[in-house]
Amino acid sequence: MNPVINSLLTIIDCLDAKNVPYAVMGGLAVRVHAVPRPTNDVDLTISIQRTKLEEWYEQLEQAGITVPIVYRNGWVDEVANMPLVKLKIYLDQTQGVDLDVFIAESAFQESLMSRRITARMEDRKISVVTPEDLILLKLIANRPRDLLDVADVLFVQGELDQRYMRQWAASLGIETRLENALFPA
């Protein structure tokens, strides 16, 4: 099995064991909502209280997921005002799969968690962000690969909830990016 998919399923098993809600995002969500493309990491948003992280980290390490000491000591990173912990599953001594786990604490993240959908991957049901939320996340990141993903999602999905996306784009400060994606020059 693909090491990225295997890593995804490993962390999902850990989340399911603790009844921690999650939503797959990033390149793996692009596979669900658009033209499948290669990806080398796993991106998730989870709903967990920070006070429960230590207990969850112990379970992750038992499953072979490396939790860097800075996170074990209580530190949480942040990307675009979204809390994040960076984990890894090592495939051998030098290579591994990065697991970027965002903690749903903002209103936008809570919204995307409430809207997540079920998809199938490797004969498993998984929770995935909606195409609208995936577009917003990709526009927040705003890297060239993300903008190509947005175009692919829009092309494959067709009609989406533009009102929802515009509402959040205004709140997130990415209105111009969304309009440029919806109506390219």
Per residue in 10-64, pLDDT (tens digit) is: 999 999 999 999 999 999 999 999 999 999 999 999 999 999 999 999 999 999 9
72 neighbors 55 (Cβ within 8 angstroms): no
Per residue in 123-181, pLDDT (tens digit) is: 999 999 999 999 999 999 999 999 999 999 999 998 999 999 999 999 999 999 999 99
Mean pLDDT lowest among 8-17, 53-62, 66-75, 89-98: 89-98
64 neighbors 57 (Cβ within 8 angstroms): no
Instruction: Write the CATH number for 20.
Output: 3.30.460.40
Q: What is the pLDDT of residue 98?
A: 96
44 neighbors 14 (Cβ within 8 angstroms): no
The two three-digit tokens of residue 173, written as one number:
């400060």
Q: Phi then psi for 81, rounded to 5 degrees?
A: 65, 20
Domain range for 141 is: 3-182
Interior/surface letters 39-53, b for 16+ CB within 10 angstroms, e for the rest: bebbbbbbbbeeeeb
Answer positive or negative: Cα dihedral of 110, 114, 117, 123: positive
Residue 1 has pLDDT above 80, yes or no: no
Structurally, the chain folds into a number of domains equal to 1
SS3 breakdown of the chain: % helix, strand, coil, rounded to 5?
50, 20, 30
